[in-house]
Amino acid sequence: VPFVVSDPYPGIESAVETLRQLGHRRVGFVGHPSLRSFSVNERETAFRAIAGKLLGEEGTVVVECDNSFRSRKDALTELLSAGGSAILFAYSPDAIAVIGLLHDRNLDLGTDMSVISFDDIDAFRLMSPQVAIISQQTADMGRQGVEMLLSRIGAKRKRRAENRRIPTVFVQRGSVGVAPQTLHGFPA
């Protein structure tokens, strides 16, 4: 069965490079392994490789959470304790929950903490500031999937299934800013 999936590497590389250029030296990543999703887990693998190359091992902090409020709160506490000034989320519901927790701590998006999430959900464009995203290019994925299906249906001879990877794209918005001079009350 042919399939179309997103390739997380281009979007993550662009996002981490943008953060590095804005002065962020410690970037956190929130994974969600309990989903058992190949795509979500591949995002963590990509982040570790790219951030390790661009920021060094000391510049990357990877934490995990599940769907519980407690685990998301613990993940944020761990990231803040590690001195992170930016967070990249593999799973958009985690981003929404942690953005609320940042608000509860009086930390402003794009000023006190930069935030990027996968998936361009409507909520991210409704927030102020709007949340930067790594787009999976779902319209392109759908179009190519339909093209592959129609080609397969119309083929006289069945060929081996063709798989495609669509490059992700980083979309910078107001939730990403220059690294703060002080991190959570301490000099950066």
pLDDT single digits (tens) 96-147: 999 999 999 999 999 999 999 999 999 999 999 999 999 998 888 888 888 8
Reported confidence tier of residue 8, pLDDT bands at 50, 70, 90: very high
pLDDT of residue 140: 87
DSSP readout, 47-58?
HHHHHHHHH-GG
Q: What 8-state DSSP symbol labels residue 109?
A: B
> CA–CA separation, 118 vs 92, rounded Å?
6
Q: Please tell me the pTM assigned to this model.
A: 0.90
- Count of CB atoms within 10 A of residue 101's CB? 16
pLDDT single digits (tens) 170-180: 999 999 999 99
Structure tokens belonging to residue 139: 């319209």
> CA–CA separation, 13 vs 170, rounded Å?
9
Burial class (CB in 10 A: 0-12, 13-18, 19+), 121: middle
Provide mean pLDDT across the span 37-66.
Answer: 95
Do 99 and 133 form a contact (C-beta atoms < 8 A)?
Answer: no
pLDDT of residue 186: 46
